[in-house]
Structure formats: C-alpha cells, structure tokens
Amino acid sequence: MPQTIDDLHEDGVARLIFQLLDRLTKFNPEVIIMRKLENKTAIITGGASGIGNGIAKAFVKEGARVAIVDYNYEAGMKAVEELQLIQPDSIFIHADLADFSTHVEIINKTADTFGQIDILVNNAQTSRVKPFIETMQEDLELPFKTGFFPTFYLMQHAFPYLKETKGHIINFASGAGITGELNQAAYAAAKEAVRGLSRVVANEFGPYGIKVNVICPFANSPGVQQWAQHMPEHFEETLSKIPLRRVGDVETDIGRAVVFFASQDSDYITGQTLMVDGGGCRL
C-alpha cells in the first residue's frame, strides 16, 4: 500500500485522479471551492449605486441571488443588468423606502421570486449636511425615514424567512455618529439609532440563529465624493488621520467585509460593530 504522497503519485489510478483535479481547478476553481454565498438570497437596499452596488457586485461573485432595492429606477435597471451578467438570478425592486408600505412588498416579492431570504443588508439612507443649530425637523426626519425606519421594519417583515434560514442581517451605521462629526447631527443620530436597535435585535433574534451585525464604512461613495468636492480641506484633513491613507473601495473593501458577515464564516458573531474605514475610528 502507498504510504506517502510520492507513493501515491507512483500509483497509476492516483496519478490520473491528481491530473483530473489539476485540470478542473485550472479551468473552473468553483468545481472544488464552493463560493461563500452559493444558493443564498440577499436583499440589499440602496443597491443601485455606491456602497450598495459594491456589495451587490461582491455578493453575486460569491454566488448569491440578489434583490437590489432603490428609488432611482434608471440606475436600478442599469445596475441589475450588470449584475445579471454574473448572476442571472438578480432582480431590481423599485421602491421609495420613505413610503413604509413598500417594506412588506420588498420582502414578499423577494420571497415569492426566490423562495427564501438568507441575508438582509440595510444600507440605504439619505441625509443633509448642516450645522446642528441650523438643523430643522425635516432635516432630522429625512435620515430616519430613509434609513432607520426602513431598517426597523424590514427586519420585522423579514424575520419569519430569516428564522427559517438562520440568516444574517447587516445594518449600516457610521463613524460620524461615534466620533461626533461636524455638521452631521441628523445623520449621526439616525446611524447611532441603527446601532442601538441592532444590539437589541441581535439579543432577541439570537435564539433563532439569526445574526445581526453593523458595519461603519468609509468608502468612495457618491456622498464621500461630494464631500471631497465641496469641502476639500476637511476631506483631506480626515484622510490624513486614516492610518491606511486611502478611501475604501465600495466593492473590494466594503463589499468583501459584508460578504464575511453574510456567510457562515461569521456564524458565531452577532451584535457587533465593524469599522471598515482604514483605521479612521478605533473602537
């Protein structure tokens, strides 16, 4: 009987198997290595552009079926066409998250299309940049209506499906709320509300096997691009304080981190906040 790898190579049958495996992995590595999100279904809000689109691209490359949700119809249709080149089982749901009646429709359409929901990514939010003293009620309500409340209600409506799959919820907050970024009163308040809510839901959903975690990103999103354009000195000052001295990429930096939180690699992690910001905010 062969006792070593060298002995196995001397064996004709074993040598043939090694050659076959080598050819398979060269031409199609997925024959041997299962993608992290294979056969999983994910909902991604704000998936037509920016960080949400980066997450969607990272997900489909790992085999996930995705439903991207966005209020921008043209951007959503363009984004889903690109995603379908990689994963034909990708859909776009046109919805205004500030209209709370759309939340249950999003969940129902995804479940009806794919038969299951494994992952919920609450990424979308809109806000205005203003000094605290100038922030009015409508400014405060905007990020709550487009970010906090959709996060709240989508988690509620998705619960029966996530319970079946022992799924993952990834919510989005921001270092702006942790550090108290200037002119971000409404935004920071809504994002910190998401973090507090996520800890509560992690405790309540945990017994059902559902994991709930938060990511605070710093990436080259449209919002950050506008900030760099309109407040270049403040942007450069912020960038100089980031140890890695760069802005994150929406797909390869943020998207890959979300893949981790959406996969079985994070099955023993819940209720946590992960800073994906180049070290800008060190908890």
Which residue numbers are catalytic? 187
The residue type at 183? N
Do 59 and 82 meet the contact criterion of CB atoms below 8 Å apart? no
Q: Residue 202 half-sphere exposure, CB side, CA atoms within 13 Å?
A: 19
Do 139 and 89 meet the contact criterion of CB atoms below 8 Å apart? no
Give the C-alpha separation, 171 to 157, whole Å. Answer: 15
Beta bridge partners of residue 219, listed in sequence order: 248
CA 219, distance to chain mean position in Å, is 13
Give the C-alpha separation, 59 to 42, whole Å. Answer: 8
Closest CA to 208 of 161, 263, 171: 161
Q: What is the DSSP letter of 184?
A: B
